Amino acid sequence: MKNYVSASVLSADMLELKNEIKKLEKSNIDMLHFDVMDGIFVDNITFGLPVLQRVRSATDMTLDVHLMITDPLKYIDNFADFGADIISFHIESSSDTMAVIRAIKDRGLKASIAVRPATPIESVFEFLPFVDMILVMTVEPGFGGQSFIPETLDKVRAVRARITELGLEADVEVDGGINSDTAAAVRAAGANVLVSGSYLFGAEDMAAASESLKEDKSC
Ligand code: DX5
Ligand code: ZN
């Protein structure tokens, strides 16, 4: 299973966004993670469609959009039009889960279900045959720079086991508090797409930091 690093632009310098994206490209980062928050589903408001459109025009990187919004179904076509490649939406949102998956797949994009730390992972099991990825939140969604919640590892293990059991090839993404210390644990538990914001953007050498998320440091 291939490992990927998805850089959360929430930690980027917004006034320098174009240069920040160039830096990600030069650092061999696989994807750009784009956190959309509506101030209702989570206690924060970030950026939306116009910013995504400008980001799309600046890069060919895979755009991994994470919707932390109340009614994702209403906006899937917009995010598809504005350049998303992968769309994660929350199972706790008010939209019908299967309807959102269908809307994303109808646009030819990869569909992913995100789960908050307190939501049982079993809630996504019935949808596994229809999605490309499951996003296990490893912090409470809303803000970058929080500490990893170790109890979420069991959820990563459980969903990876179920995916294997069903003979599927879905990716398991983790998001929140991922750094060189927590990366090995989430990979061992079965995650293969690692989102990282504050750790990557705070690193002196972004390429080395990204590499440290993908591989065990041999000593
Ligand atoms: C949190 C966001 C994350 C966040 C990760 O709600 O979904 O993507 O930016 O940031 P770090 O890596 O700093 O925890
Ligand atoms: Zn995110």
Tens digit of each residue's pLDDT (9 = 90 or more) over 2-59:
999 999 999 999 999 999 999 999 999 999 999 999 999 999 999 999 999 999 999 9
Residue owning tokens 């980001």 = 55
Residue 219 pLDDT greater than 80, yes or no: no
Determine the pLDDT at residue 1. 87
- Identified catalytic residue from 35, 64, 132, 171: 35
Ligand 1: distance of its center to the CA of 123 in Å? 22
Residue 181 annotated in active site? no
Q: Is 144 in the pocket of ligand 1 (CB under 6 A)?
A: yes
Residue 215 pLDDT greater than 90, yes or no: no
Determine the pLDDT at residue 218. 45
| Whole-angstrom distance, CA of residue 115 vs CA of residue 121 | 7
Angle among Cα 199, 217, 191 to the nearest 5 degrees reads 65
Residue 205 annotated in active site? no
Mean pLDDT of the chain, nearest integer: 97
Distances (CA, A) of 142 to 35, 46, 61, 137, 178: 9, 9, 24, 11, 15
Report the residue among 36, 92, 195, 213 best suited for mutation to probe ligand 1: largest number of ligand atoms under 8 A from its CB: 195
Ligand that comes closest to the CA of residue 116: 1
Report domain 4-214's class. alpha beta
